[in-house]
Chains A and B, each alone.
Chain A
Amino acid sequence: MKIDSRLIRLHPDDNVLIVTSTLPAGTELLVGERRVCLGEALPLGFKIAAEAIPASGKIIKYTVPVGSALVDIAPGETVHLHNMKSDYIPTWTREQGSGH
């Protein structure tokens, strides 16, 4: 699979790619054969799906599951708290704490 130089795949078994520098909205990336246009800026270190991940499928990074998909995730889509969750302890965000 072709990988854009601004992305790294930490291990061949992983199904996510990592952004190696902050990318502005509108950036075009090549993920496999697919051209993806970022709807919003993506900061350094965030994850993009390398392939289609079905709802409840495991998110694999460093060869190990780091959580499960909440919904079907398309290749090139950002993978973060809006579409995945922990299999151990739920992730807490400031919005929850302030009652929003």
Chain B
Amino acid sequence: MIIREDAFLRADGRKGIRNVIVVAYLVECAHHVAREIAWQFRDQEVHLIGFSGCYPNAYAYRMMKTLCTHPNVGGALLISLGCESFDRRNLECEIRASGRPAETLVIQEKGGTRKTVAAGLEILAAIRAEAAKVPRAPMRSEELIVGTICGGSDATSGIAANPAVGYAFDLLVQERVACVFEETGELIGCEGVMSARAATPELAELLRGTVDKAARYYGIMGHGSFAPGNAEGGLSTIEEKSLGAYAKSGTSKISGLLKPADIPPRGGLYLLDVVPDGEPRFGFPNINDSTEIAELIACGSHIILFTSGRGSVVGSAISPVIKVTGNPETYARMEEDMDVDAGRILHGKASLLEVGREIRDLSLAVARGQASKSEALLHQEFVLTYKNFEPLGHACLP
């Protein structure tokens, strides 16, 4: 099925539904300068991303590289302080090699804040002009990747919003879209039912292993992936939250297991393992929802389906976020931020299948260019932290 006639065609053959220019700071010390440059174009598809750390980290480099060469990205301006360890030359080279315009400004060489901002604005205009020349081509459903996450969950999430997204995922998987669900820390308690859906016995073992790893990791941290607002919303335990979160995955067989910045090789349903490998080193696996969204996008997600009971307002840099709430009270209070009212299911005003179809249809409309609510409100959250991952094993992918 062709979902869009004029998608942005990248040199590697992948297709984007947006043509965003990223301004990326390569250490926190360059954050302000990068923001000053990006801010002036904030309603013109220029998004701010970056990595705060000064110490090197292979995961963070790979995330930045994958995000700067995401199909929704048309070019990049890198802002370096000058003394940080991030390999800016290599990153610029890799972005250029992907066929995208890329430039780097080093604040210490340029002569400080004001001069770098002035130079950045000029270069950004040139990058935008270059990126606008990207060829356009029809995009088929099997070229689309959709990720899902939940945040600000309450007891309605697992009853209305998550099963509705699960049904939308079933419909999209039938159209050979690659669908990605994640947060193994929120699958604790679901390891048995989930692994039974794996495409192969080897994959089943690996899926179970990711949840064991998450339970161990969060156990050492002393906290599950559970915020006080979850309990105020009627969820009592991590396993109760998990079972609701798990419903987002729908009922398709699970084709593969990804880690952050691994791209699904073809359509189907994938689990993204976001919990670092090895002994805990850098703290909590995901300090907030935005870190998970960045990882889903690094896996190639063009669109994120975000379910929320309590009512999160976040969006994201690079890929549009569609918000689905299962709580009718939240929808009534926060309608300007919520794209889909799945709470109608609770009051018998709509069926799960109707809302699931609505989410699928809205996803395709957003793929064709319609702005999601968080996108129209200029939400561009982005968080990237330190992590450590081993490469995927051979049994992970179909």
Contacts and interface: CB of A to CB of B under 8 A. Distances in A.
Contact of A61 (B156, B215, B243): B243
Given A45-B159, A62-B244, 13 more contacts: A44-B156, A45-B235, A47-B236, A64-B193, A65-B239, A66-B236, A84-B237, A88-B188, A88-B189, A89-B215, A89-B218, A92-B223, A92-B224
Main secondary structure, interface of B, reads loop
Contact of B155 (A18, A59, A65, A88): A18
A64 B247 CA distance: 13
Contact of A91 (B158, B219, B224, B233): B224
Contact of B239 (A8, A67, A80): A67
A31 interface: no
Interface string A8-29: 1010000000111110000000
Contact of B237 (A45, A46, A67): A67
Interface in B203-244: 215, 218-219, 223-224, 226, 228, 231, 233-240, 243-244
Contact of A89 (B223, B234, B327, B328): B223
Interface string B129-168: 0000000000000000000000000111011000000000
Please name the 3 residue pairs, one residue from A and one from B, whose CB atoms are nearest each other, closest first. Answer: A45-B155, A45-B234, A66-B240
Contacts of A43: 233-234
Nearest to A66: B240
A11 B214 CA distance: 28
A67 B240 contact: yes
Contacts, number: 107
Contact of B228 (A19, A44, A66, A93): A93
Given A20-B347, A44-B329, A89 B243 contact: no
Interface of B: 154-156, 158-159, 188-190, 193, 215, 218-219, 223-224, 226, 228, 231, 233-240, 243-244, 309, 327-329, 346-347
Interface residues of A, number: 33
A62 B246 CA distance: 11
A79 B243 CA distance: 17
Nearest to B234: A45
A73 B236 CA distance: 15
Contacts of A56: none
Interface string A48-82: 00000000000101101111000000000001110
B236 A91 contact: yes
Contact of B329 (A8, A22, A87): A22
